[in-house]
């Protein structure tokens, strides 16, 4: 191949199919940013999403990207007979759109269904778990063996590259037996924060300008443990007069969380909404609280870090990437000790402690780039699609 032809290959547009099941939250944010960034670089990008757990804001934004095509396939998180219909629907989309250069599945369900279609070497297949299921500390030994075995078989036989979004997730994937040549680390990147929305978000809930606001952004799910935060705020409320908790998200636990909020008697200080995105809401927070049971590399933590906001998080994957512990925020033990979380919230809201955290967070806010994430993903695609190592 001549140098001219090599240059032409290096810059040719790729045909890429992106597939996602959760259709919201951090994985949804990653999916949207990646689709848009690749489209802006001239690639043919098609997207597949599931309406089952889709957030309205995600669907609106995805449709506004004006991609080459947007397909809908009903995928459920839990394994079941519906997976057969989803598998067939994906297969039809893939056959109709062929040839693709890359098929990239996001999350465990979409990752499995999109990878199983092809025999070895047909089309390069990439998988981003967005937190391997086996990272959940409550899963149990049997669950870890089953899910870990499935992930290992898929990675070994049906996957060209697994993208880990933090060093913690990479180490966990290796502990499952995944070969290092199948793995790479590409840390999520985020767009610049929308600081102009802070007053609008606070005013929407009648939160005074000087009130201390703890914030939560995420799917209302077992993984994100929003019930921990509601109970911790209830526990700490008497010691935090005037403080508010603003929770942004939707999901399968929404009825239970709304009931829990009502039972606290603090409805005028705990606000739950899905009307704003995380990027819009985070500038209104004084501190982000992430009580998750497990993560790989939380998009929300990166968005808060990029906005210069202190973070209080349980000890999960990626926390040490986004937080300089005791300087830009706090990392606490990942357990159901609500009193520990409540005490950490009280301490973090103290004027002197918060000023110190804020200073540390603002010193780190320039270190999280969306362009770098897209650069590295695009390079990986070219390496796999064109068979050249070292992209």
218 and 245 within one domain: yes
Least confident of 54-63, 110-119, 181-190: 110-119
Tell me how crowded residue 68 is: count the other CB atoms within 10 A of its CB: 14
pLDDT at 13 over 90: yes
Does residue 120 lie in a domain region? yes
Instruction: Kindly give the residue spans of alpha helices, DSSP state H, lying in 159-250.
Output: 167-175, 198-204, 226-236
268 and 253 within one domain: yes
160 and 125 within one domain: yes
| Spatial distance between the Cα atoms of 61 and 51, rounded to a whole number of angstroms | 14
Tell me how crowded residue 64 is: count the other CB atoms within 10 A of its CB: 10
For residue 248, CA distances in Å to 60, 180, 290, 346, 391 come to 17, 37, 12, 21, 38
Q: pLDDT-based confidence at 190, cuts 50/70/90? A: confident
Q: pLDDT-based confidence at 317, cuts 50/70/90? A: confident
Going edge to edge, which strands form the sheet with 213-217?
A: 270-273, 244-248, 213-217, 287-290, 311-314, 329-332
158 and 22 within one domain: yes
pLDDT at 226 over 70: yes
273 and 243 within one domain: yes
315, 331 contact by CB (below 8 A)? yes
Question: Which range of residues forms the domain containing residue 71?
Answer: 8-189+369-386
Does residue 59 lie in a domain region? yes
212, 242 contact by CB (below 8 A)? yes
Phi, psi of 190 (to 5 degrees): -135, 150
Q: pLDDT-based confidence at 121, cuts 50/70/90? A: low
What average pLDDT does the chain have? 91
pLDDT at 180 over 80: yes
175 and 99 within one domain: yes
Does residue 237 lie in a domain region? yes
Does residue 2 lie in a domain region? no
292 and 156 within one domain: no
Higher pLDDT, 93 or 10: 93
pLDDT at 138: 83
Q: For a pLDDT cut of 90, what percent of the chain falls above it?
A: 72
Instruction: Indicate the helix (H) or strand (E) that contains 333.
Output: none
pLDDT at 390 over 60: no
For residue 352, CA distances in Å to 208, 307, 339, 341 come to 21, 20, 22, 19
Find the mean pLDDT for residues 350-355.
96
pLDDT at 387: 77
CATH number at residue 222: 3.40.50.2000
Does residue 3 lie in a domain region? no
Bin 54: left if φ > 0, else alpha if -120 < ψ < 50, else beta: beta
Does residue 291 lie in a domain region? yes
166 and 43 within one domain: yes
Q: For a pLDDT cut of 70, what percent of the chain falls above it?
A: 95
pLDDT at 273: 96
309 and 381 within one domain: no
Does residue 19 lie in a domain region? yes
pLDDT at 358: 96
21 and 150 within one domain: yes
171 and 246 within one domain: no
Please tell me the pTM assigned to this model: 0.74
- Name residue 373's beta-bridge partners: none
| Spatial distance between the Cα atoms of 302 and 318, rounded to a whole number of angstroms | 9
| Number of domains forming the structure of the chain | 2
| Spatial distance between the Cα atoms of 282 and 191, rounded to a whole number of angstroms | 13
246 and 121 within one domain: no
Does residue 212 lie in a domain region? yes
Q: pLDDT-based confidence at 3, cuts 50/70/90? A: very low
pLDDT at 117: 63
Residue 354 CB burial class (10 angstroms; 0-12, 13-18, ≥19): middle
The dihedral built from the CA positions of residue 61, 90, 15 and 384, taken in this order, carries a sign that is: positive
64, 70 contact by CB (below 8 A)? no
């Amino acid at each position: 191949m001549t140098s001219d032809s090599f240059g032409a290959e290096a810059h040719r547009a790729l045909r890429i199919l992106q597939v996602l099941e959760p259709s919201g939250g951090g994985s949804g944010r990653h999916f949207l940013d990646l689709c848009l960034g690749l489209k802006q670089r001239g690639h043919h990008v098609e997207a597949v999403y599931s309406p089952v757990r889709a957030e309205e804001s995600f669907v609106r934004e995805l449709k506004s990207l004006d991609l080459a095509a947007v397909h809908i396939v009903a995928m459920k998180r839990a394994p079941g007979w519906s997976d057969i219909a989803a598998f067939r629907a994906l297969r039809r989309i893939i056959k109709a759109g062929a040839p693709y250069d890359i098929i990239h599945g996001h999350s465990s369900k979409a990752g499995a269904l999109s990878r199983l279609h092809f025999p070895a070497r047909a089309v390069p297949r990439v998988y981003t778990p967005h937190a391997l299921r086996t990272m959940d500390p409550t899963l149990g030994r049997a669950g870890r063996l089953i899910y870990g075995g499935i992930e290992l078989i898929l990675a070994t036989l049906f996957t060209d590259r697994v993208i880990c979004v933090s060093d913690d997730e990479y180490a966990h994937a290796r502990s499952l037996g995944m070969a290092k040549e199948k793995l790479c680390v590409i840390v999520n990147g985020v767009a610049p924060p929308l600081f102009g929305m802070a007053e609008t978000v606070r005013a929407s809930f009648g939160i005074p300008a000087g009130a201390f606001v703890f914030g939560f952004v995420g799917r209302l799910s077992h993984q994100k443990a929003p019930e921990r935060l509601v109970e911790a705020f209830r526990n700490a409320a008497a010691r935090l007069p005037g403080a508010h908790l603003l929770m942004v998200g939707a999901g399968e636990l929404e009825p239970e969380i709304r009931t829990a909020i009502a039972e606290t008697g603090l409805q005028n200080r705990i606000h739950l909404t899905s009307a704003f995105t995380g990027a819009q809401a985070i500038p209104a927070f004084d501190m982000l609280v992430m009580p998750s049971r497990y993560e790989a590399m939380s998009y929300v933590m990166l968005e808060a870090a990029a906005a210069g906001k202190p973070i209080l998080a349980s000890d999960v994957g990626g926390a040490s990437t986004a937080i300089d512990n005791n300087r830009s925020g706090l990392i606490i033990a990942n357990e159901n000790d609500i009193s520990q979380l409540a005490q950490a919230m009280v301490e973090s809201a103290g004027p002197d402690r918060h000023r110190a955290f804020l200073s540390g967070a603002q010193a780190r806010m320039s270190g999280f780039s969306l362009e770098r994430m897209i650069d590295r993903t695009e390079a990986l695609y070219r390496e796999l699609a064109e068979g050249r190592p070292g992209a």
